[in-house]
Chain A
Amino acid sequence: SQQGEEDPQALSIQEGENATMNCSYKTSINNLQWYRQNSGRGLVHLILIRSNEREKHSGRLRVTLDTSKKSSSLLITASRAADTASYFCATDGRKLIFGQGTELSVKP
């Protein structure tokens, strides 16, 4: 069973716009991680936020975590065509439990 659920399932924006993806999960966590996957390839780790953190930044990425609502969001600012990929949230522990992902398309 999958713990995380990303929303929306698909998002299409123009280059330069911001993209926001949301993730909801079911059980308590130690951390939440976001990954990116380009078509048919492996996953690239983007950012990890611990359960005692509320917000974290990494370059053009901003992640928030609300443990009371069991939700997280990933914001990509000033998007580029190269950001086109599927984005997954995954909750912690010895095994990652992934959602189905948000498919982001950034049009030049």
Chain B
Amino acid sequence: GNSVTQMEGPVTLSEEAFLTINCTYTATGYPSLFWYVQYPGEGLQLLLKATKADDKGSNKGFEATYRKETTSFHLEKGSVQVSDSAVYFCALSDRTGNQFYFGTGTSLTVIP
């Protein structure tokens, strides 16, 4: 079946630190991969996506590369800011297009 596993939080970093949030997936076929971000009190927003192997999604300084060989889609940012404090969800969509599979979310807190 399809599933997403992401690193447990919470993660606390100082401002300007490097961020990595690990995400691995299990899927039949060739899924599309996503990172969503949920700021406090808000809904989920699409942060970035990749639809095929070796694609790199990027947005707002965040990047993730679709690695088929390691079934991974790790989220990275070179220098985090306090405003990046949020919960980050890794997700995949299978080729039927009917359903997303979300990871459990990783809470990030960035301190000044």
The answer to whether A and B belong to the same complex is: no
